[in-house]
Amino acid sequence: MNERLKYMGRLQEKELELKKKALAMKSAIEVMRDMLDPFEDLEELKTEAIAEEALRLANLQIEYREIKSEIKAIRKILGR
């Protein structure tokens, strides 16, 4: 297999991985929005669960940015 094909395959893998991370991030945001019910009593808010979801979102964003950076590097190698 030539090197260009190898990089093109890697690019497709990373683009799919990026889409999965984006979906996971959107899901985390929706979960937090559901837990942050403005009509809920303040004492009843699930703050620990919200904090856990926020941390999950932050970690997903870090991974998302890393993948995006890898995609940029691969595209540069491919001349795109």
- What does the pLDDT read at residue 80? 81
pLDDT of residue 1: 61
Instruction: Please determine, for residue 7, whether its predicted confidence score (pLDDT) is greater than 90.
Output: yes
Question: What DSSP string runs through the chain?
Answer: --HHHHHHHHHHHHHHHHHHHHHHHHHHHHHHHHHS-TTS-GGGS-HHHHHHHHHHHHHHHHHHHHHHHHHHHHHHHHT-
Segment 20-66, tens digit of pLDDT: 999 999 999 999 999 998 898 988 899 999 999 999 999 999 999 99
Closest alpha carbon to 14 in 72, 79, 78, 53: 72
Q: Quick check: 70 pLDDT over 70?
A: yes
- Averaged over 10-25, what is the pLDDT? 98
Gap between the Cα atoms of 70 and 77, Å rounded: 11
